Amino acid sequence: MILIDNHSRVPIYQQVKEQIIMLINTGVYKPNDQLSSIRNLSKELDINVNTIKRAFAELESDGVVYSVQGKGVFVSENPLGNENIAMSALKDVATAVTSAKAMGVTKEQVKNLVDNIYEAGESDD
């Protein structure tokens, strides 16, 4: 259910984080559902255990999941209630847009790009 792009510049732990959030966003995972175990995910995706651990640790500190020792990792009651997730993503957008503006990119070019990205997934909503 999770696809990793090894060629991407986006860190793998980040890709794992994003895809789990997306699975929650789309209702595949619901509150208190148990996620795949760290070791299972590590085997399935052929990713180092430490990389999965980091993704889960950050999801937990963002309040998206909670872990129960000896049981596993579960989706929180209100997984997307924490605004920090969106905020940190927006901060990255701000950095990239500010830089693009400095490089001579116009507002229209950026907005067209944003439209394209959001339209791409329209059929999924």
Q: Report in angstroms the alpha-carbon separations of 36 from 18, 42, 45, 66, 73.
A: 15, 10, 12, 13, 8
56: enclosing H helix or E strand:
helix 49-61
Q: How far apart are the first and last CA of the chain?
A: 17
Q: Which is nearer to DNA, 70 or 108 (CB)?
A: 70
| Closest C-alpha among 6, 65, 15 to residue 35 | 65
Q: Which is nearer to its own copies, 14 or 36 (CB)?
A: 14
| Strand runs labelled E in the chain | 65-68, 72-75
Site for DNA in 11-30 (CB under 7 A): 11-14
55 with 85: CB under 8 angstroms? no
Instruction: Give me the least distance between CB of 50 and DNA, in Å please.
Output: 4
- From its own copies, DNA, none, which one binds at residue 115 (CB under 5 to 8 Å depending on kind)? its own copies
Q: What are phi and psi of 68, to 5 degrees?
A: -120, 120
* Binding residues vs its own copies (CB under 8 A): 6-7, 9-11, 14, 18-19, 21-22, 25, 58, 61, 66, 68-69, 71, 74, 80, 85-86, 88-90, 92-105, 107, 109-111, 113-115, 117-118, 121
Instruction: Give me the least distance between CB of 52 and its own copies, in Å please.
Output: 14
> Which residues are at the interface with DNA (CB under 7 A)?
11-14, 35, 37-40, 47-51, 53-54, 56-57, 60, 67-73
